[in-house]
Amino acid sequence: MEEFRTVVASPVGLHARPASLFSRSAKESGCVVRLAKISNETTSEFVDGTSILRVMTLGVKFGDEIVVQVEGENETAAAQLLQSLAESADH
């Protein structure tokens, strides 16, 4: 299993388009992807990263920290892609 923590750079956080790109990429990876929001060093409940609705329910805003777990055959490549999406401000 791959796990990473990162700060969301999109001006709208993981809402609408960024959430759609993230969840679609997670689904296409074929891996199990879970993510949670970190607030004051407290981690929220993990949600299914392949579901745009679940991703959006976390309420991740610009500058929020998330933790992502990726498990499956292509987990390293999938984790790298998802991290780059979360860290991109171009959404």
Q: What is the pLDDT of residues 70-90, one digit of tens each?
A: 999 999 999 999 999 999 987
Residue 72 lies in domain: 2-87
Q: Percent of the chain scored above 70 by pLDDT?
A: 99
Look up the pTM and report it. 0.93
Statement: residue 91 has pLDDT above 70? no
Contact 56, 90 (CB under 8 A): no
How many domains is the chain partitioned into structurally?
A: 1
CATH number of residue 6's parent domain: 3.30.1340.10
Burial of 10 (0-12, 13-18, 19+ CB in 10 A): buried
Nearest to 67 by CA among 91, 86, 90: 86
Could you list the active site residues?
15
